[in-house]
Amino acid sequence: MSLKIHMTKFLAGFGNAEKQLKAELMSPSRGGNVIDRDHFNKKIRVKEWSVDGFGGVTINGSYTSQKHILMLPGGAYSLEPSRRYLELSEYFALSHQMKVTIPFCPLSPEYTSIEVHQYLLHVYSHLVKEYKEDQFFFWGDFSGGGLALSFLQQLRDIKNIPMPVKTAVISPWLDITLDNPLIKIAKKADVFLPVETLKETGIRYRGALASDHPFVSPIYGDWDNLGKILMFSGTEDIMAPDCELLAEKAGSLKGTELIYKKGAGMFHNWILIPCRETDATLELIASYFLDQGDI
């Protein structure tokens, strides 16, 4: 394990990262989105767009393939994407010549899951029409990972819109209730996520839907015929128990190939920390998307 990971865990505990996130979720800020044309690397080409009154960006480098990632940032369905997602999108665009689209999804508590799914369906429908030759891939972390897996089920049921070629998710939020009893054990090691505050956030996000509706808790949905999925969690991650529960179903699924990778000593959503372990995870995801070597 790298020194950066050790230091991040130490500083998170020392600096009360959990309390900071709790405060942000109780009063999420607005208007500070940094994912815009002015903040990208000069080598990046940026197209800004709007769907249903909500914006987004599609980026690519100078030499672009027809592989296209729909990137769904985390943030407990409530927080605006940080600059880190700009860096992550640049990695795929510049290092692997992929297009990357980041939609600015409606956020809770102003909006609920039904409105988020409606917006995302309109965004994706627009993308597949505008980029007819592209192969699409879904990427999501934390709540973005949960949304990606929920949206897969929605697309499968609609049937008239192309499914993505592959999906990769990191520390996905699979059950909005966080009621898995093993989460209490996992919480002893997770110094980042405030469980009770997340439960309240989940209630606001689900709105009129039941807590076991696949739009908000994809683990309860139908997992057949969702294609190829690569899923990560850390051993020090409260999302790990539900990821393990889902992974147990992998052998019985039809039309779905689920690969689960568990990072030893890794905390929730480590992908947001620039470090050796994150570099390795990104390379693994890129190789998975580009069919380069075994996973």
Q: How confident is the model at residue 62 (pLDDT cuts 50, 70, 90)?
A: confident
Range 234-242 average pLDDT: 96
What is the model's pLDDT at position 32?
A: 84
Q: Round to whole Å and give the CA distance between 290 and 65.
A: 11
Question: 90-104: per-residue pLDDT in tens?
Answer: 999 999 999 999 999
Question: 40-59: per-residue pLDDT in tens?
Answer: 888 999 999 999 999 999 99
Question: 189-209: per-residue pLDDT in tens?
Answer: 998 999 999 999 999 999 999
What is the model's pLDDT at position 138?
A: 98
Peptide bond into 274 cis (omega under 30): no
CA distances from 40 to 47, 57, 121 (A): 11, 11, 26
- Tokens for 72? 């769904």
H-only helix segments in 159-275: 182-186, 195-206, 240-247
Q: Round to whole Å and give the CA distance between 211 and 228.
A: 26
Range 1-17 average pLDDT: 76
Q: How confident is the model at residue 7 (pLDDT cuts 50, 70, 90)?
A: confident
What is the model's pLDDT at position 105?
A: 96
Structure-model confidence comparison of residues 18 and 68, the more confident one:
68
Range 66-78 average pLDDT: 97
Q: How confident is the model at residue 108 (pLDDT cuts 50, 70, 90)?
A: very high
The mean of the pLDDT values for the chain is: 94
**Res 6 pLDDT > 80:** no
Structure-model confidence comparison of residues 17 and 243, the more confident one:
243
Question: 144-177: per-residue pLDDT in tens?
Answer: 999 999 999 999 999 889 999 999 999 999 999 9
Q: How confident is the model at residue 256 (pLDDT cuts 50, 70, 90)?
A: very high
Contact 161, 272 (CB under 8 A): no
What is the model's pLDDT at position 15?
A: 65
H and E: helices and strands count for the chain: 10, 8
DSSP of 72-119, one letter per residue? E--STTTSPPPHHHHHHHHIIIIIH--EEEEE----TTTS-HHHHHHH
